[in-house]
Amino acid sequence: PTVDCLDLCQMLTAEPVFQASKYGSLWPLPQKVQISEVSFKLSSASFRIVDAKASSAGPSCSLLQSAYRRYYEYMFGSAKKQWGSKNNRRSDPSDLTELQVWITSPDSECDGYPSVTSDESCEYLLFLVHVMFYRSLETFSQLVSEDEYGAKSINATIINDFPRFQHRGILLDSSRHFLPIKVILSNLETMAMNKINVFHWHIVDEQSFPYLSRTFPQLSEQGAYHPYTHVYTPADVKMVIEFARLRGIRVVPEFDTPGHTQSWGKGQKDLLTPCYSGSKPSGSFGPVNPILNTTYDFMAKFFTEISTVFPDGYIHLGGDEVDFTCWKSNPDIQKFMEQQHFGEDYSKLESFYIQKLLDIVASTKKGYLVWQEVFDNGVKLKPDTVVHVWIGGRSDKEMSNVTAAGYTTILSAPWYLDYISYGQDWQKYYKVEPLNFEGTDEQKKLVIGGEACLWGEYVDATNLTPRLWPRASAVAERLWSAKNVTDIDDAFNRLSLHRCRMVERGIPAEPLFSSYCLHEYKGV
Amino acid sequence: MLTYQNTYLDDLVDLPNTLDHMLEDLLGSQNFETLGLHSVEGVWPLPQSITSSPERYPLNPQAFYFTYGSQSAAQEGCSVLDEAFKRYFSLIFPDYSSGYGFLRFSVDKPFTVQVSVGRNDCDSYPDEDSSEQYTLSVSAGQAYLKAETVWGALRGLETFSQLVYQEDFGSYYVNKTEIEDFPRFQFRGILLDTSRHYLPVQAILKTLDAMAFSKFNVFHWHIVDDPSFPYQSRTFPDLSAKGAFHPMTHIYTQLDVRRVISYARMRGIRVLPEFDSPGHTQSWGKGQSDLLTPCYSGSTPSGTFGPVNPILPSTYKFMATLFKEVSSVFPDSYIHLGGDEVNFSCWKSNPDVRAFMLKMGFGADFTKLEAYYMENIVNLTAALNRTSIVWQDVFDYHERIPKDTVLHIWKGVPASYEAELRAITKAGYRVLLAAPWYINHISYGQDWRNYYTVQPLNFSGTEEQKKLVIGGEVCMWGEYVDATNLTPRLWPRASAAAERLWSDEKQTSDVDKAFPRLKDFRCELLRYFSFSDNAHGIPITHHRTLFYEVCLTYTDASVSLRLQAGYPGRASLCRTLQTRVPRCLIITDHVTFLSI
C-alpha cells in the first residue's frame, strides 16, 4: 500500500499513462516543428558536425567546436564504444552524414559572452541547417532516436525555433550551503540541455560569504563557512563563467544588500549597523549601515571588482527583506533620520541607501536587477532596471504595477522550487502563464522572462540535482515555447523521455512517476 | 598566522617535511585541551546507557587491532566478524584508508578492541529472536566489546566507530566510555519498492550500508507490484521476462538476490521479501496466463484484468510453487504476503467469480472472498514453516487469521493508527507500525521532526498488548523515487525513526536536543559515502580534519607555490615557496603532491 485513500482516489483519476508524443522527446518544444515519416540513419563512424560554408564561424570558433564534440558524444556515447567497428561501409543515401552549422549573423559572437540581446533563434532543415546560435545543437541531438538494436536514426524535420522569453534563469544559493564547483558545473550542463540561458548566482547571504574577493579577501576568510574549503576562488569563478559561456549561459551574480548581509560583517568592520538594546550596543548587528561614508567607499571598491570579474551586463543587487528593528534601535541612525527629514519612515532610509548603491553600480557601466521590494518602496530606478518579482499570492498585481511603471521585469514567484511537496508538482510550475496579468501589450512586452529559484536552506550537493531536475525543466518549457504549448499530457510524455535523456547523460534527474529509463542512473 | 617566504628549491623537494614543520609550529602554539570538544552524545541512535569521561586515548591506525577475546565462542575465521573488522577499520580511519595517512606525529601504544560473543552464530542469519544487546567498555589501550551474538557485536562495533573522532590535526581519539545497549524494538525496518522504479543492486547495497550505520535490522524488499516484476524466478522465468520493465537490464537475477542477502547478513540485516497479492499484481499477469481475474464489461470479457483469480485451483498451485521457491531463496523466517488495497470491481464484474461466491455462501460480501484467498495463502506459507506478515487490511476484514501472523499498520493519522494498534493487539496479534513513517511523502522543511516524535506505544492497552508491538518500519514507496534521488530522500530522515525504534523514549523525547546530534551524524554519513569535492585535484580533507592546500601561480620561468595548513575555523599557516621549475609541473592530486 503506498497511498492513503485520499491520494488513491486522486491517482485513480489522474494517473498518467505514458504514450509517445508526436514530438518525440523534444524539450522544450520548438516554436515550429514538422517531423516527416522519412527517416535517415546516423552512423557514429561517418556522421560529422561541420561549419557551413557561408557560416560566419569557422574552426577557430572554439565555442562551437567544443559544442560539436559535446553533442557528438551525447548522441553516440564516448568514442571508446566505436573502437571495435571498422568502417569500410560506404554511406548510402539513407544515411545522414552531416549536420551543417551555419551562423548567419555577421558576428558569430564566438569569443564574446552571451548577452541579454543575443539572438537564440534558429531554423533548420535537415541536410542544410541554419543555426544562429547554440540552441539548435541541443534540439538536433534530441531528434536522434535509438531503436532496440542501438541504431541511431533521425527523421526529416523542419524546425524554426526561437525563445518566447529572453531571460530564462535558474537561481542557485551557495550561501546557505556551499555548493562545490563540480555541482555548479554539472547543473550548467543541465541548464544547456533545457535551453536555460541565465545562471543567477546567489553567491552570498547571511549564512556565509564564499566569494573570495581580491580587494577584500577578509570577507571570505572570516565570513565563509571555511576559509579554504568553502570558498570560490577567482579561478573557480572564472571557470564557472567560461563553462557557462561555452554553453550560451550568462552568469548573473547577486550581492544582496542592505539586508541578508550577516556574513559580510565578519570580515568588514563597521559595515553593518550595530543594534542597541536600550542605550547600549547589544553586540549584534543589523543590515548594512547606511549612514556612514565608509559604507559607500567600500561598496564602490567592491562593486568595481565585481563588475570586472563578472562580464555579464547585469548585476543583481538584491534589496529584499530589510528588517528595520536594528536601524530603529540605533541612536546614530535615529539622528540621521531626523537630519534627513525621514520621520519614522525607515523605507526612506532604505531607499536612500539603495539610491546611492545604484549610482555606484551604474558608474561601473552595469545594468542591475533588484528584488521587487526596491520598486515597492519607491526607489528611483534607472529605466533599464529589471525588477524581480518573487512574493507569492498576488504576483500578477505586482507584475501589472511594475510594468505599468515602465520597468522590465522577470517572474519567480510561482517558481520557488525549494518548496517541495508530494507528487507531480512540476505540473503546477508548467501551468503558470507569466503574462497572465492585467496590462497593455506594451506592458506585457516588458516581461523579459523568469527564473526558477532553488534556495539553499535544505539543499546541498547531496540533493540539489534531483531536486532541481526535471522540475526546472517545466519552467524551461514555459519560458521557451509558444504560449499555446499547454497540453499537460503531451508534456508528460515528452518530459518523461527528456528526463531519461538527462539520466543517460549522467544527470540524476528524478522520476516523474512510476516508470523506467532504458539506461538507469549509474552514479549510485 | 605564521608566514614563511623566499625559500627555495630545497624546500620544494622537501615538501612533506616542510609541511610537518609547519604542523609542529601550529601544534606548539595551541592548547590541545580546548580543542577536544567531542561529545559522546554523537552516537546515533542513542545507547540505552552511556557514561563517559573527558579522559581520552589516541588511536593510531598503525597500532590498532581488533581481536577475539579468549572466552569468545567465535574466533578468527568467523566470517561476519572478520569482515566487520575490516569494514570498521576503514570507517574508523577513513583518511588512512584513502591514502591521507602519512601524517604521523609519534608512535603511540597499541590500542586493541577485544570482541567476545557468547554464541558462535557466525554462519547463521539474523532472525526475529536474535539478541542485539552488547556492552562496550573503553579504557586505556583497550576496549572490551561483549555481546551474546555476533549481531550484537556488530551493533557494538558501529557504536565504537561512532565514538572515535578525529582531532582537528588529524589524530584519532576515543574517550573513556562505558556503554550498555540493546534495542527497544526487535524489528526496525526499511521498505524499498523495486517495482514502481527499478533500483540497481548497487543502490540497494548502499542503502544496506547506511541502514547499518543507523542500526536498522530489516530490509523489507517490496520486490514486485503492479508496474513491474523484476524478480527473476527459477520456476517461472516468464514472470520477469514479460513482467519486468526490461527482461535483461531491469531484473534481479538469483545471483543479485543472493548478493543482497549476503551483504545484508554481514551487516546483521534480515531480508524480508514481499510478494503482494491478490491486488497489486498487474505485472504478474503478463508472464502467467490465467493468474489474474478477467474483468467483464457486461457479458463479455473487457480485455483487462483484476486481482489474482481466487476461484481457480491452478492459482493456488502456482502460488504454492512460487512461495516454495521464495522460501528457499530467502532464508528469513518471515514472508510478507501483502493483502492490501484489493479492488473488488473486477471480481464483481466476472460471472464465474459471482457463481463461486454463491457456491461458497459468501453472498455479496467480497471481503469474504478476499479472506478466503488470504487464508489459503497464509496456510501455504505456514506449511513452508514461514511466519506471515500481512498489511492491516487483512485484519480489518477478516479475524480468522492464524495467531502467529504479524499485522502491518500503514494507514492513517495518529488517532487512527493508535486505534488500530489497540484493536489488533487486543485480538492478540503481533503488530508492526509503518503508518507514521511513510517517508516517500515529502514536504518543505524539517519533517524528520515528525518521524522523531512518534510514540509507537502511545495507545491504551495492557502491558501484554504493548509487548505485541514488535517494531516499526520506514517505507520508501517508489512512485517518485529511483536511484537518482533515493539516498538523499531517505537519509537522514530515516535515521530519525531509527532512534525512535532503538533508543529509550524518555531519554530521546526532546527533538531540539536531537537536532545537533542528527546534524553531526549526517556529516558522518557523508564522510562514509565519501561525498568529496575534489574537482580540482586539490587535496582537501573533510570536515573536522586537518587540511592542506597547494596553490600554484605561474610566471614565465618560475612558479610560486603556496602551502597552507590548518584546521577549520582557526588560523592557518602559510608558506610561500618560489623557485624555478619547468612549466610542466602540474600538481594534480595528493599522490603527486606527496612525491614531489
pLDDT, tens digit, 9 for 90 and up, residues B220-267: 999 999 999 999 999 999 999 999 999 999 999 999 999 999 999 999
The torsion region of residue B547 among left (phi > 0), alpha (psi -120 to 50) and beta comes to: beta
Asked if ipTM goes beyond 0.90, one says: no
Reported as a single tens digit per residue, the pLDDT across B142-178 is: 999 999 999 999 999 999 999 999 877 778 999 999 9
Categorize the per-residue pLDDT at B585 as very low, low, confident or very high, splitting at 50, 70 and 90: very low
Q: Check CB contact under 8 Å for B340 and A421.
A: no
Q: Taking 50 as the threshold, does the pLDDT of residue B24 lie above it?
A: no
Domain termination residue (choose one: B161, B181, B201): B181
Amino acid A158: pLDDT = 84
Q: pLDDT at residue B10 above 50?
A: no
Which residues partner with A276 through β-bridges? A281
Q: Is residue B27 assigned to a domain?
A: no
A175 grid coordinates: 550561501
Contact A228 B484 (CB under 8 A): no
Helix residue ranges per DSSP H, A204-292: 218-223, 234-245, 262-267
pLDDT score of B30: 37
Rounded mean pLDDT, A429-434: 98
The active-site residue, picked from A73, A242, A321, A451, is A321
Average pLDDT over residues A192-209: 97
User: In chain B, how many domains are there?
Assistant: 2
pLDDT mean across residues, chain B: 84
Q: Which of B449, B477, B510 represents a domain boundary (last residue)?
A: B510
Please count the residue pairs, one from chain A and one from chain B, whose beta carbons lie less than 8 angstroms apart. Answer: 125
Residues B233 and B172 in one domain: no
Q: Say yes or no: B316 and B295 in one domain.
A: yes
Is B36 contained in some domain? Answer: no
A462:B526 CB<8 A: yes
pLDDT at A406: 96
Q: Radius of gyration (Cα) for chain A, nearest Å?
A: 25
Which residue of A18, A514, A518 to mutate against B (max B Cβ within 10 Å)? A514
- Give the pLDDT mean for A92-100: 76
- Residue tagged 501551468 (cell numbers): A431
Of the pLDDT bands very low, low, confident and very high (cuts 50, 70, 90), residue A106 is confident
Residues B96 and B211 in one domain: no
Give strand pairing partners of A386. Answer: A369, A408
Q: Which CATH class is domain A167-505?
A: alpha beta
**Residue A90: which pLDDT band, with cuts at 50, 70 and 90?**
low
Of B52, B8, B168, nearest in space to B548 by CA: B168
| pLDDT range class, residue A320, cuts 50, 70, 90 | very high
- Does residue B219 form part of some domain? yes
Q: Give me the residue spans of the domains in chain A.
A: 32-78+92-161, 167-505
**Using 50, 70 and 90 to split pLDDT, how confident is the model at A227?**
very high
For residues B256 and A354, what is the distance between their CA atoms, to the nearest angstrom?
Answer: 63
Q: Is the pLDDT of residue B336 over 60?
A: yes
A74/A141 Cα distance (integer angstroms):
7
Interval B25-41 mean pLDDT: 41
pLDDT digits (tens, 9 = 90+) for B57-99: 999 888 899 999 999 999 999 999 999 999 999 899 877 654 4
**Residue B573's pLDDT band (boundaries 50, 70, 90)?**
very low
Name residue, grid cell 516524535. Answer: B453
Q: Give A391: exposed, middle or buried? Use CB within 10 Å, 0-12, 13-18, 19+.
A: middle
Residue B8 has pLDDT above 60, yes or no: no
A48 pLDDT above the threshold of 90: no
User: Are residues B171 and B222 both part of a single domain?
Assistant: no
Final residue belonging to a domain, choices B154, B181, B208:
B181
Q: What is the DSSP letter of B163?
A: H
> What number of other Cβ atoms are within 10 A of residue B173's Cβ?
15
Contact criterion met (CB < 8 Å) for A511 and B481: yes
- Domain A32-78+92-161, CATH class in plain words: alpha beta
Whether B122 contacts B152, CB under 8 Å:
no
Query: What residues form DSSP beta bridges with A169?
Result: A198, A451
Note whether B491 and B347 are same-domain residues. yes
Q: Are B110 and B121 in contact (CB under 8 A)?
A: no
Same fold, A32-78+92-161 and A167-505: no
Task: Return the residue of A nearest to B411 by Cα.
Answer: A4
pLDDT in tens, B502-534: 999 999 999 999 999 999 999 888 877 653 332
Structural domain boundaries enclosing B472? 187-415+422-510
Residue A162 has pLDDT above 50, yes or no: yes
Cell 520508501 sits at which residue? Answer: B476
Indicate if B157 and B211 belong to the same structural domain.
no
pLDDT at B101 over 60: no
- B547 and A467: CB-CB below 8 Å? no
Domain co-membership, B141 together with B227 = no
CA dist., res. B186 & res. B211, Å (int): 15
3-state helix, strand, coil in chain B (%, to 5): 35, 25, 40
**pLDDT tens by residue, B402-440:** 899 999 999 989 889 999 999 999 999 999 999 999 999
Which candidate, B167, B135, B214, B132, places its Cα nearest to that of B57?
Answer: B167
Instruction: Return d(Cα A471, Cα A194) in angstroms, integer.
Output: 11
Stronger pLDDT, A175 or B567, i.e. the higher one: A175
What confidence tier does A122 reach under pLDDT thresholds 50, 70, 90?
low
Residue in A185, A229, A514 nearest the CB of B547: A229
B369 lies in the same domain as B309: yes
Same domain, B198 and B147: no
CATH of the domain at B122: 3.30.379.10
> Which residues from chain A sit within 8 angstroms of residue B519, using beta carbons?
none
The verdict on residue B205 lying in a domain is: yes
* Helix A346-362 with A293-309: angle, nearest 10 deg: 40
Predicted local distance difference test score (pLDDT) of residue B41: 63
Cell matching residue B262: 549476503
Q: Which residues of B are catalytic?
A: 341
Cα separation, B243 vs B267, in Å, equals 31
A225-249: average pLDDT = 95
- Residue B546: DSSP 8-state: -
Q: Does residue B372 sit in the same domain as residue B333?
A: yes
Residue B529 located in a structural domain: no
B576: three-class secondary structure by DSSP? strand
Beta bridge partners of B305: B294
